[in-house]
Amino acid sequence: MTQIGQFFDNVWVDAFWRLLVVLGLMVFVVLALTYVERKFIGRIQMRLGPMRTGPYGIFQPIADMMKILLKEDLRPATADRLAFELAPFLAFVPVFLTLLVLPFTARWHVRVLDLGLLYFLAVSGLTVLGYIIAGWASDSKYGLIGSMRTAAQLISYEVPLVLAVLALSMLAGSLNLVDIVRDQGRVPFIIWQPLGFFLFMAAAVSDLSRRPFDVAAAESEVAGGPWIEYSSIRWSILYALTEYANMFALCVLGSLIFLGGWDWPLGLKWGWPWQLVLVFGKTMTLILVIMWMNATFPRVRVDQLMSLCWKLLLPLAFAQIFLNGLVLVYHWPDWTFLVTSGLTLLLAGCIVYTILPLGSPSRIVARSSA
């Protein structure tokens, strides 16, 4: 990062050190999030969670890591060896590369790119290639079916995610993440773009294959995702490490572009310690929201999953871009961003409520009979 890397004049040494810092951060975050999720969901379900491995079970992630490393690495006899072994890294490396452009404070970052937001979206979308190759290389019809469903889900929800972020970049007038954060010094963009934040979170949950959008990896489905034939360290790379690292990266991005990042409130006045608290506090809040949804929401069917994307989220994303364009072209005051985005979100909620069978059981029966 900036203050660490400036001690190295050699470009290659500087780049190698930055990569090591990011890699170490990602491994620590994955271990910490596995423990936090098990404790958090246990609290929701009135359980204690891990308690036996160390004080309050804090060594449970380390024990799980050692168990995975020591397990036998199996490969189907008819699998394509090269593709089978390469697929986990094709899924993991794009997530690792997204962390390189995320600034954690005004000065602590690996690289600041003028098109950093575009780079993040472009690179994160490459993860689907690893899943497709994993299912195909396994030479298993269940793995292939799982990979096709995963690819369909990720590609579909990538569209409203990109459009929601594009609508937000119209407000900032930049694709530089540092500039976007600085534009939120007074008011975070979630105030002006509640619809965009809803679209971003819905697409992020689907991108992570988390409930209610976890059809691709659900144990009740025919195939448990493209990693059904994987074990040991390759399973942990393809599933656990990639998923938790991607969750952290998406939540850091959400905290930067919607919640004000390190700048709001009083980030520049109170210095880098407070900026770290702001970024990681907001990131952890978004992570806990995703975990809470995973523990409480029911799983949707695959047809409902795809219909939600193409029939609701995609039109809402285009509507957000159109409304932002109107406000910017006619130079309306900033509060009109909130009015147009909030009213569109409220209208969409009313439409969904009238269409979906929500409410009392008698109401559900009446709608189904009609």
- Give residue 229's pLDDT: 84
- Give residue 8's pLDDT: 61
- Give residue 195's pLDDT: 92
CA distances from 60 to 44, 49, 144, 168, 238 (A): 19, 10, 33, 40, 20
Task: Kindly report, residue by residue over 77-115, the tens digit of the pLDDT.
Answer: 888 888 888 888 888 889 888 988 888 887 777 888 888
Residue of 98, 107, 82, 32 lying closest to 62 (CA atoms): 32
Residue partners of 304: CB distance under 8 A and separation at least 6 = none
pTM of the model: 0.87
Using 50 as the pLDDT threshold, list the residues of the chain that sit under it: 1-5, 7, 358-369
- Give residue 366's pLDDT: 47
Neighbours of 21 (CB within 10 A): 16
| Single-letter amino acid code for the residue at 332 | W
- Give residue 92's pLDDT: 87
Burial of 276 (0-12, 13-18, 19+ CB in 10 A): middle
- Give residue 204's pLDDT: 92
- Give residue 357's pLDDT: 55
Neighbours of 22 (CB within 10 A): 18
Provide the residue ranges of all domains of the chain, joining segments of one domain with +. 2-369
- Give residue 237's pLDDT: 79
